[in-house]
Structure 1
Amino acid sequence: MKLRLIECYVPKGIFAGLESSVSEESLDKIIWSSVNEERNQTVIKILTTLSCAESITDELSTAYGGSNFRIFTLSPTSTYPRLLEEEKEESNETNNEDKKEKLTERFTRGEILSKMEDFSKITKEYILMLILSAIVASIGLWKNDVAIIIASMIIAPLLGPNIALSFSVSVADFELAKKSLKNLILGVSLVLIFSIFLGHIIPITPEYPQIASRMDLGLYNVLIALSAGIIGTLSVLISGISSSVVGVMIAVALIPPLVAFGLMLGAGYYLEALPIMILFIMNIVAVNFCSVLLFFVYGITPYKWWEKEKAKTFTIFTLIFWLLALLFMAGIIIYRENIINLFV
């Protein structure tokens, strides 16, 4: 059972009791609670399950949103005595509730937002990691060394901007969307520029195995990209999934094709670079489609009720856009030979 400890600090005198702060349904799901006075503030502490933490924090925010309040959500590593889940009656209604609870047992909106804000920041370390990943991937592609290519995937920080962009759609946070898009464009541009530069230096040709493999496109590439998007999004939704492993999965779909495309441009193989460019764009589309879809399925919405309908509409339009773009890119992969012949 995953737990969350919620601490809410509100000005002294406005606390009207726990029963007035949260709904009756939420009260039933509180494992332990306490209320203490500290200087000029009232401190509310609530221990509950992860699946109920978001609804309780939303209710506390609604109750004290007009005041100078602050809410912290902590993740206890253990508790004693050990908590046992209550046995539920085996009925269709109960089974449906269990399925819904399992589906929504994810990180809270606030926890995910904290991660996304970190992902959307442009730092010196982020730029350095991008440059190093481009250099390492270029050497791996040139030497046909899979181990070196995997190393470039591990240090490539391209997971964050893609997932943050999709999350911003789900919560209608356009400021986060601009930061994430700026971060993504910067990351792709830096990797591409350094790859083109290295393509002028490294004696590379389309016959190199790691380059040729990314020029031979098929619908299996779509499945790989979709898998990367699903796993990447689950890593920020569900606890227990290693982000480093997910980073490698995302990098499989993004870093090697982008670097291979830049190397081909730098070496002067412009026509040969077209299939690799198609692969990279298709991967970006697939990752973002899966991310937006999973955030929607797992019920990620804005906290403010008046923004929920706007976010839902925006999410549906975005899903349609990414789906159409994915089908378009799949069509290009199928008929790529005819399309490339137009440029010959």
Structure 2
Amino acid sequence: MSDSGQLRRYVGDLQTQAREWTALHDAELRRRAVQAAAERDHAALLSLMRAYLAHGGESGVLTSPRTVEAYELGARQFLDYAGQQAISLLRPGRHDAQGYVGALLAAGRKPAGVSLKVAAAGCLYRALRWAGATDADPFRDVRVPKDRTPGIVKRPPYTEDELADVIDVADVQAKFLLFLTAHAGLRISEALALEWDDLDEAARRVRVRSGKGRKERLVAMSTSLARAVRHYRSLYGPGGPEHGGGKRTTPPERVFRYGSVMTARYHLQKAFAQAGVSFRGFHPGRKYAGTRLLRQVRDFGRVAAHLGHESVDTTRRGYAQLAADDLKDELAGW
């Protein structure tokens, strides 16, 4: 099985939802899309966008649930704005899209977040063009200012002391999840999709089969993570005392009982609160892994491979940073 059961079920749902639109003749497809836009029917427009992602998007029915959710949220926000400003969805004015960008920035949104909202609104218009409802492409030429502050500065990694304090008080599942993000550098979606066969504590490696862009990779385990795997497997793995006990919402082959990112977030937030540490999400754990590893190996390429980044620039901008005085030892003898 190359992807998790949860992902397969979602793909089926996306395909089924798309048929509501793709089963229509072109004329009827266009008529319904025009009607949805004219009536500002948000539910129908979001359904149309999902159908477009399933059939016209780059990843088709394999589009990740989180991508769909992000596009839906962004499209809803644009539709709300368009309604408030009385913008014609099918015949927007040539300044309307840039006006939306300006409104987001004026409301205090960061440029990176605005870019995501623009991408979602642009996807909505691709869906309308796909349905033949309009030729408008208002977000094609919009400009969003660049944020020159590196991502790792805006959203820094957790510190060694912060992680140690949380690990001291976290329960077994939360502690194990923290090791996977902060040592193996896994994305939360990658961690929650793990199955028992993906963990090889003897060889000290994790097999990630549901990475971003559906890329598979092998990730090395730290010594601490390998110990955490052995302890976790002894309790929750096949044959362990906790494997079949209690209520679980995930298949038995899955490592975690957390059925969603929201559930995982809830349990991690409890552990962080108990430790008196501010929970800033899962990514600061990945940034801790990137920064600590870079200071040891001083090789952005190797760190990028560990984190599953396709581009070293992604690692350099947002996930790993050398100390300001990193070269002081090399320069000592000058």
TM-score by length of 2: 0.26
Instruction: Looking at secondary structure, tell me which structure has more helix per residue.
Output: 1
Of Structure 1 and Structure 2, which has the larger fraction of its residues in strand?
A: 1
Which structure has the larger Rg? 1
